[in-house]
Amino acid sequence: MAKKTKKHGRGKGHGPRRKNYHTWEVDLWITDFNRTEIGIYKHARHRAKSRQFTKDMDIFAEVKYGGERTHFLGYRKALWKKEEGMSKRLVIKQFTTEMNWRATLDLLIGRSLQLSHGAGGFPVTAFSINISGHDQIIQVERSAYKWAGTPEKFSFFILKDDGKPYFYRLRRNWISIGDDYKLYDEHDRLVGKLNGRVLNLGGKWKVWIEPEHADPRLDVVLQLFCGMLKFNDDCRHHMEDLVDAMHDGKITPKLEHHEAELYLNPRRVR
């Protein structure tokens, strides 16, 4: 059995000490007014730069390494705010500072309904993450194994360059003022932390990862996860409403075209 690692020390500023940890931040903006999007023509230029930058894209966060902005997070505002029922989906995308697409997180309505139905109505959200240049579609799912009052958990795995799957789980802290999560590897060792900052009105996460687990794909997954936390409560409520409506026969389940494509067999005859 693998040995448990000791608790990590913390120095000034509530940061780790003793090791050269891999760190970065996700900073959510308070309002929609920001210099990245202000102006109709600037938004149009972003759309011309990348077809992934849709007409309803709203930039709401930035990623920083060493205090320097490197990426943006945006979500499809109309798809989340204006649609209803099974047509309402959360789609978050990550772009470089030059507005080139890097990754997308989708709330999978069909998969979430399946898991929530199997859990007797308990809301189990499931997300897929598509990263540019990475063949695997990474699945991030909330655990249905949760007693009342216990912290929520998510899990996922990443196929890395050596061909092996690396399994991770995220568990929210038992006691936290912000949305604080701990990251564990397949040996249940603590390998990272997502520290939420409550003093920032928009939302801010300071993330550190053990150097041996530092990987660009893991960074993207966790950065999109931090962005998802802005919508986490609403996603759960949305799935609760949908599974209740499905049980009561008030809705006829139907998947949106783009989501349906995510479930197709890649080996099917085309």
Beta partners for 128? Answer: 106, 139
Give the count of beta carbons closer than 10 Å to the beta carbon of residue 68. Answer: 9
Q: What is the pLDDT of residue 267?
A: 82
Residues 6+ apart with CB under 8 A from 174: 151
**pLDDT at residue 14, as a whole number:** 46
Structure tokens at 223: 């950065």
Residues 77, 247 contacting (CB under 8 angstroms)? no
Residue 154 has what pLDDT?
98
Give φ, ψ of 117 to 5 degrees.
-65, -45
* pTM score of the predicted model: 0.86
Nearest alpha-carbon partner for 230 in 28, 32, 26, 53: 28
CA dist 117 and 111 (Å) reads 10
Average pLDDT for consecutive 10-residue bins of the chain (270 residues)?
45 53 91 53 60 88 95 95 95 94 97 96 97 96 86 96 95 81 97 80 86 96 96 96 96 91 84
Residue ranges of E strands in 4-120: 22-28, 57-65, 68-76, 91-96, 101-107
The strand pairing partners of 57, in sequence order, are 76
Q: What is the pLDDT of residue 13?
A: 42
pLDDT at position 82: 95
